[in-house]
């Protein structure tokens, strides 16, 4: 007898989401995320990526189907406990302007009435992990930080309660390319250190290739492809090829991968 | 000068009365309008009708408002009660509107993150929403207080006392000194309230 496959950390089962006016944003999505893996959701704006992400921590509830977390329907769990067990990182970061970084990072612990000393210790530990030296940054306010530093703090906050799941909605989308690269490298090493199940919404194919174990391509609320990064690059599926080529064309400096153009032809 | 020394104790008593009327009204108005504003921010479809009602209260001429309340049982028994109820009614709108607008005006991504972090509704209110809206709410209190200090002078018309009494007496006896003896302290009270609450407003403002 073979052992049954492990229960996925996140399992979307026939998840649909419709707006009150009937517009369907998610159309019977079925998708499993294994524990400790990173899945990138790619797709155009309006393809339903963010909507899908938000059904996990129940900022939205599916109008049909269900989201199972380690086999348990998200709806059957206590909403507050569920959200505290899921880290959430967004492009706008959402650091609270009236709190220092230390307090921002440890806010979930504060909400759980963890003793102050423990909160501070944890906040400093995480600030260090994301490359913000606590001596310098713990007492600063968000307005005193650069965009990249804010995003680092946002990530530290998401990790504060050591959640098994991390939801990231275009976390590095608003950063300049160099900062973004640094953040992606840091993210990769953090993911190797802390085993998390990550759902990453992004527009950036390179980011997906660099960070993800699986890449899911979404269009009009449906899954078009669910592939490993290698498969994704080699896929003959027209929609996937179109996506890959859109990125390769944006990189004319790399002749090895750029598609031939008419100008280049003799 | 002799006018002042003769009337000093009257002016002082009436100023204290005036302060007492205004402060009581502000206390009741804040106790009603801040929670109401919070509730409205949670269910905004009620905002228009409720703020509309507060708006209508605001448009009733103050002398008429005191007159309306005069024949009511219990209220009509004591002039101070009428004055406090009327002033409370006038103070509702600015506080209500600013509390509502202050909370609704918080960056939606902050509200979303607060929910996603698993803060309870009460924690969101006390840790996030109220601190971020505090300077708005104080601005509402400030507007309301300054308005009330002014309107409280009319309360003398129904015998509720306050600095209006000197003004009414001065008008009746064509004595400008009496009018000024009421008007100047009233104006100073309004300026003081404006200054103090303005300072608090500045202190609670969150720098972005």
pLDDT digits (tens, 9 = 90+) for A6-31: 889 999 999 999 999 999 999 999 99
Residue the block writes with tokens 């189907």: A65
- Residue B25: closest CA among B59, B66, B61: B66
The pLDDT, as a whole number, for residue A266 is: 42
Give the pLDDT mean for A186-214.
93
The pLDDT, as a whole number, for residue B168 is: 94
Q: Does A164 touch chain B (CB under 8 A)?
A: no
The pLDDT, as a whole number, for residue A2 is: 66
Specify burial of residue B131 (Cβ count, 10 A radius: 0-12, 13-18, 19+). middle
**Cα(A82)–Cα(A136) distance, rounded to whole angstroms?**
33
Examine the pLDDT at A81 and tell me if it is beyond 60.
yes
In this prediction, residue A262 has a pLDDT band, given cuts at 50, 70 and 90, of very low
The pLDDT, as a whole number, for residue B207 is: 81
Per-domain residue ranges of chain B? 2-204
Per-domain residue ranges of chain A? 94-162
**Cα(A159)–Cα(B175) distance, rounded to whole angstroms?**
73
Chain A residues whose beta carbon lies within 8 Å of the beta carbon of residue B118:
79-85, 108, 111
Q: What is the value of ipTM here, to two decimals?
A: 0.85
| Distance in Å, alpha carbon of A58 to nearest chain B alpha carbon | 8
Q: For the segment A60-71, what is each residue's pLDDT rounded down to a tens digit?
A: 999 999 999 999
What is this structure's pTM? 0.86
Chain A residues whose beta carbon lies within 8 Å of the beta carbon of residue B131:
98
The pLDDT, as a whole number, for residue B157 is: 87
The pLDDT, as a whole number, for residue A263 is: 46
Chain A residues whose beta carbon lies within 8 Å of the beta carbon of residue B112:
59, 90, 94
Chain B residues whose beta carbon lies within 8 Å of the beta carbon of residue A85:
118
Average pLDDT per run of 10 along chain B, which is 208 residues long? Answer: 83 94 96 97 93 91 88 85 93 96 95 95 96 96 96 90 93 93 94 95 88
The pLDDT, as a whole number, for residue A246 is: 86
In this prediction, residue A1 has a pLDDT band, given cuts at 50, 70 and 90, of low
The pLDDT, as a whole number, for residue A247 is: 82
Residue the block writes with tokens 């108005």: B29
Give the pLDDT mean for A100-112.
96
Nearest to A108 among B115, B118, B128 (CB): B118
Fold classification of B2-204 is MetI-like fold (1.10.3720)
**Cα(B164)–Cα(B155) distance, rounded to whole angstroms?**
7
- Interface probe for A, chosen from B108, B109, B111, B117 (most Cβ of A below 10 Å), is B117
**Cα(A251)–Cα(A247) distance, rounded to whole angstroms?**
7
The helix (run of H) or strand (run of E) holding residue B22 is helix B2-42
**Higher confidence at residue A261 or residue A242?**
A242
Helix (H, G, I), strand (E, B) or coil at B26: helix
The pLDDT, as a whole number, for residue B76 is: 79
């Amino acid at each position: 007898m073979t052992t049954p496959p492990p229960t996925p950390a996140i399992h979307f089962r026939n998840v649909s989401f419709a707006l009150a006016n009937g517009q369907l944003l998610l159309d019977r999505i079925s998708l499993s995320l294994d524990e400790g893996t990173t899945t990138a959701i790619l797709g155009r704006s309006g393809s339903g990526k963010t909507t899908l992400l938000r059904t996990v921590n129940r900022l939205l509830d599916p109008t049909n189907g269900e989201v199972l977390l380690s086999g348990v329907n998200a709806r059957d769990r206590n909403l507050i406990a569920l959200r505290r067990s899921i880290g959430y990182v967004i492009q706008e970061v959402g650091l609270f302007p009236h709190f220092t970084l230390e307090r921002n990072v440890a806010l979930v612990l504060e909400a759980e009435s963890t003793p102050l000393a423990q909160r501070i210790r944890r906040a400093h530990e995480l600030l260090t992990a994301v490359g913000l030296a606590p001596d310098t940054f713990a007492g600063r306010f968000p307005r005193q930080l650069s965009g990249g530093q804010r995003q680092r703090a946002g990530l530290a906050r998401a990790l504060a309660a050591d959640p098994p799941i991390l939801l990231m909605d275009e976390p590095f989308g608003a950063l300049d390319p160099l900062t973004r690269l640094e953040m992606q490298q840091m993210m990769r090493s953090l993911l190797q250190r802390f085993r998390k199940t990550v759902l990453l919404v992004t527009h950036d194919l390179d980011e997906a290739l660099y960070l993800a174990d699986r890449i899911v391509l979404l269009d009009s609320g449906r899954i078009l492809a669910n592939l490993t990064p290698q498969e994704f690059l080699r896929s003959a599926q027209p929609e996937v090829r179109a996506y890959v080529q859109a990125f390769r064309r944006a990189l004319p400096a790399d002749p090895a991968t750029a598609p031939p153009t008419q100008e280049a032809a003799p | 000068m002799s006018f002042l020394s003769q009337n000093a104790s009257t002016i002082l008593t009436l100023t204290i009365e005036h302060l007492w009327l205004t402060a009581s009204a502000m206390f009741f108005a804040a106790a009603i309008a801040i929670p109401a504003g919070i509730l409205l921010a949670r269910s905004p479809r009620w905002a228009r009708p409720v703020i509309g009602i507060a708006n209508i209260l605001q448009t009733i001429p103050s002398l008429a408002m005191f007159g309306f309340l005069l024949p009511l049982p219990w209220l009509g028994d004591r002039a101070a009660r009428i004055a406090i109820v009327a002033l409370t009614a006038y103070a509702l709108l600015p506080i209500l509107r600013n509390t509502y607008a202050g909370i609704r005006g918080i960056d939606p991504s902050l509200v979303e993150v607060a929910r996603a972090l698993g803060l309870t509704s009460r924690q969101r209110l006390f840790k996030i929403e109220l601190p971020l809206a505090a300077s708005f709410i104080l601005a509402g209190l400030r507007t309301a207080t300054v308005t009330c200090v002014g309107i409280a002078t009319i309360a003398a018309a129904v015998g509720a006392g306050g600095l209006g009494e000197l003004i009414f007496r001065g008008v009746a006896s064509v004595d400008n000194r009496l009018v000024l003896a009421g008007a100047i302290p009233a104006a100073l009270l309004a300026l003081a309230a404006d200054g103090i609450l303005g300072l608090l407003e500045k202190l609670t403002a969150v720098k972005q």
